[in-house]
């Protein structure tokens, strides 16, 4: 049998070591408990007893709803608003400024009435130089690509179809050598749907058939004829830079 003897100091030291080790063990257990609790909070409520697996809550399925198929035809109102006055064009407005009777056409492919970079037809030349529309109307009526033609007035109701949904319009700026405003081949059927309404400035064009450089220049036939372009002469360009000569609104009415 062995007998272990310890001094009082050694006993106190051993007691202190035991207390420290117990304290450290308790702290470690508490730390582990805190980590487990934190993990449980992050993961959600703990499952006790028999576990039951449930599906996530149904928050609804997002379904893209496509618009209904477009109708084969549509009707539009085309309204021209001319705004060529001393207020909109101070210093550049000629005496007796006015426009000719507008001509409108519905057609299938671009360029049926006119196109920048191509030569003006006899009808466009007569409209741009003298405001005569009959020649242009005759050309358009004989064009198999054109399904509707009208002249005169500032408002037109036109019927279009998916295969011929483009609209063009022209009117002379008078007096001028061969300058006109309008738009060419505006589409009304876009991405499989009819547009509802659009408003935009009238475009500015030089027919390339007269070489006059001012609004009131005398006739000077251009030889050879030049392609249709934007404003080339200083007087026309200066006026066009001030403000649009007008706007057009195309609105679906049926």
CATH of the domain at 243: 2.60.40.2130
**Distance of alpha carbon 146 from alpha carbon 128, whole angstroms:** 20
Domain for residue 158, yes or no?
A: yes
Global pTM?
A: 0.75
- In this predicted structure, what is the pLDDT of residue 242? 98
Per DSSP, the three-state class of 237 is helix
The predicted structure's pLDDT at residue 57: 52
**CA 173, 170, 215: angle at the middle one, nearest 5?**
15
Token code pair at residue 90: 């101070």
In a domain, 111, yes or no: yes
Q: Flag whether 193 is in a domain.
A: yes
Q: How far is CA 228 from CA 84, 101, 173, 207, in A?
A: 22, 20, 15, 5
CB 158 within 8 A of CB 78: yes
Q: Which residues of the chain have pLDDT under 50?
A: 1-54
Q: For residue 13, is it within any domain?
A: no
Evaluate whether 252 touches 196 at the Cβ level (below 8 Å).
Answer: yes
CA distances from 113 to 110, 137, 211, 228 (A): 8, 10, 22, 12
Q: What is the pLDDT of residues 239-249, one digit of tens each?
A: 999 999 999 99
Per-position b or e across 199-238, b if 16+ CB within 10 A of its CB? eeebbbbbbbbbbbeebebeeeebeeebebeebebebbee
- In this prediction, residue 65 carries a pLDDT of 73
Domain coverage including residue 246 = 73-252
Report DSSP state, residue 59: -
Instruction: Tally the domains of the chain.
Output: 1
Amino acid 67: pLDDT: 79
| Residue 39, in any domain of the structure | no
Residue-level pLDDT at 53 = 47
Residues facing 89 on adjacent strands: none
User: pLDDT at position 34, please?
Assistant: 36
pLDDT at res. 238 = 98
Residue 200 is assigned to a structural domain of this protein: yes
Residue 57 lies in a domain: no
**pLDDT value at position 66?**
80
- Asked if the structure places residue 136 within a domain, the reply is yes
């Amino acid at each position: 049998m062995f007998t272990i003897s310890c001094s009082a100091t050694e006993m106190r030291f051993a007691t202190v070591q035991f207390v420290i080790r117990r304290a450290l063990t308790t702290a470690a257990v508490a730390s582990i408990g805190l980590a487990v609790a934190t993990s449980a909070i992050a993961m959600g409520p703990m499952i006790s007893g028999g576990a039951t697996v449930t599906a996530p809550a149904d928050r609804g399925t997002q379904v893209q709803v496509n618009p209904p198929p477009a109708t084969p035809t549509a009707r539009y109102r085309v309204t021209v608003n001319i705004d060529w006055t001393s207020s909109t064009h101070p210093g550049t407005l000629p005496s007796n400024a006015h426009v000719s009777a507008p001509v409108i056409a519905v057609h299938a492919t671009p360029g049926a009435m006119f196109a920048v970079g191509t030569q003006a037809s006899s009808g466009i030349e007569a409209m741009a130089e003298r405001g005569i529309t009959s020649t242009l109307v005759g050309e358009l009526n004989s064009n198999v690509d054109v399904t509707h033609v009208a002249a005169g007035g500032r408002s037109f109701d036109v019927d279009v179809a998916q295969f011929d949904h483009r609209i063009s319009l022209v009117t002379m700026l008078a007096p001028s050598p061969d300058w006109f405003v309008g738009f060419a081949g505006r589409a009304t059927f876009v991405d499989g749907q009819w547009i509802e309404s659009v408003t935009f400035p009238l475009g500015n064009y030089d027919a390339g058939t007269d070489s006059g450089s001012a609004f009131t220049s005398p006739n000077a036939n251009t030889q050879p004829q030049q392609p249709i372009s934007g404003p080339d002469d200083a007087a026309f360009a200066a006026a066009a830079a001030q403000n649009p000569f007008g706007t057009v609104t195309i609105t679906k009415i049926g």
